[in-house]
Amino acid sequence: MQNDKHFAPEPPPYGFSSAPPAPPAQQYAPPGYVEATYAPPAFAQADYVQPGYVQPGYVQPSYAPPTYAPPTQNFTPLPAQPVPVEERPVGCITRAHRNQPQMNALSAATLIFITGGMSIAWSVGFRSMRYNRFGVSTNVAISWFIGATIGAVISSLLPKVIPKKATTLVTALLVLVSGIVLSSTEVDFAAITASHYLNGIANGLLFAPTLTLASEVSVSYMRGKLCASTDLLSFNLGIFLQVVICSATNGSNPELIRGVLTAVFGFIGGWFAALLIIESPVHLLIYRNEQQAVDALRRLQRPFLVTTNTQAQLSEHKLYISDNEALSIEQSCAQALPTFIKIGLLRVLNALSISTFMHYVLWYINSPDFWAVNSYPEWVPVVFASCRLLGNFFSSSLMDLLGRKKLTLIGLIASAGVAFGLAARLPGYPSFEGLNVLMCVFQFFVGLAFSGCSAYLGEAFPRRVKQYFISFIFMAEMITFIIVASCTPTYDFFYVIGGLSVFVFIVSIWWLPETKHLTLREAQVRFSKGCC
């Protein structure tokens, strides 16, 4: 206890009494002591790459992508959805009843073309005998053909957006006015010329849009009949009516009857145009009116319901539009030009077969006194026109059964043989009875041969240029009428017709396709191949 006074007392702890005790004093190693060192264990970090950084010299390992193995168990695939197919009814009466609205949609154009046929017959010479006394000048005789050419030019320039109903209404009004002008005069060449110009412009303006519409509203198994009935059958019916009028009213005023009929047909045609025309479904689809296109297809077939046939036609029209939209204007023209030559030759032959020279031959073999009033046998022109109408009727009715090409080839080779026979016998002044029979037989076979042209016009050309080329072919036909009417008749004319018929027959064997029961898309492909 005595030694405690030699040691200083410990200082009190810092802070509060509750604070932790102070840390112990640091101890130091004694002098000369060496601390042992230990190396930390080395860990191998092979192939490790720090995320986000690429170390120098490091090669990224490649990994094969995982492969997918389909399940090995057996399964049954789902059945494919059936593609709608257009149904062809059995029986001609059933087909006609179901598709009657398609013919109704073209009835207005049919009436207008009948008035055009009457004017054609008058222009080539089937008119009253007293016109021979006054003399009909060439300008009056070809006035209808000039007007039709002007109308075709206007039609080729019209935009496609104009509805067919509006075009038909305008042409019906022109026909009505032309009939009123014609029936209000008697042997007035100025009035006749004005009437022919109006009627010709109406027919030329309506021709191309009507055949385009006919090809697009008709079903594939009735397109030939519908196009031929609307086109050539209507014109030939008008020729027949004019011949009957002239034969039955010789010595009176047949122009009064023709004018009244023209005005009546124009009025009824306008009424039909306002009520019965149905716009082309193809035209409506092009302008993105699919609902209206479906409604148009519904109203074009009985019963007026949306059926599987409606869906099949809608799908086919869409394919037809897509195929044609893929063609440029240059490609469409290049594809249409060979077809234009083929069908153009047929239509030129059609014009030659009913041109002014045919009437001249009838006069020559039947009338010893050309200027006599009653020297023309009345039955000859009637039978002449009847045979042409009959051949056209048979061809139109059988076209969708036998095909366009067969009837065309039969008519061409038969009419060529009859033409050579007429050319050989005309200069020898044979019996009149024999030549009259040959003339009537010739007209029957040309009526049989050229009905297929109407169907080909609606089927052959690409849609972008279809209306233009149909108008060009109609112009070529009218120009043929004008040239023949302006030339001096010659007996070698039948040699020309026979030679052209043989040439077209040979060419058509390879170059003219058969388009029976084909859709517009399939028919266009057939024509684009060149040789068939």
Q: What is the pLDDT of residues 427-472, one digit of tens each?
A: 765 555 678 889 999 999 999 999 999 999 999 999 999 999 999 9
pLDDT of residue 136: 81
401 part of a folded domain: yes
Please report where in the chains the tokens 């239509």 appear, as a residue.
347
pLDDT of residue 49: 47
For residue 374, pLDDT over 60 is answered with no
371 part of a folded domain: yes
Domain count, the chain: 1
38 part of a folded domain: no
339 part of a folded domain: yes
Per-residue pLDDT band for 253 (boundaries 50, 70, 90) equals: confident
| Spatial separation of the C-alpha atoms in residues 455 and 526, rounded to whole Å | 14
| Spatial separation of the C-alpha atoms in residues 21 and 23, rounded to whole Å | 6
State yes or no: cis peptide before 84, omega within 30 of 0. no
Q: Name the nearest CA neighbour of 350 among 230, 235, 265.
A: 235
pLDDT of residue 38: 47
Per-residue pLDDT band for 380 (boundaries 50, 70, 90) equals: confident
218 part of a folded domain: yes
Q: What is the pLDDT of residues 467-514, one digit of tens each?
A: 999 999 999 999 999 999 988 877 788 999 999 999 999 999 988 999
- Domain of 241, CATH number, reads 1.20.1250.20
**DSSP letter for each residue of 457-473:** HHHSS-TTTHHHHHHHH
11 part of a folded domain: no
For residue 61, pLDDT over 70 is answered with no
200 three-class SS: helix
| Spatial separation of the C-alpha atoms in residues 444 and 362, rounded to whole Å | 15
Q: Look up the domain containing 179 and give its range.
A: 104-277+327-528
29 part of a folded domain: no
237 part of a folded domain: yes
For residue 110, pLDDT over 70 is answered with yes
Q: What is the pLDDT of residues 143-198, one digit of tens each?
A: 999 999 999 999 988 887 888 999 999 999 999 999 999 998 877 889 999 999 99
| Spatial separation of the C-alpha atoms in residues 95 and 220, rounded to whole Å | 12
Q: What is the mean pLDDT of the chain?
A: 83
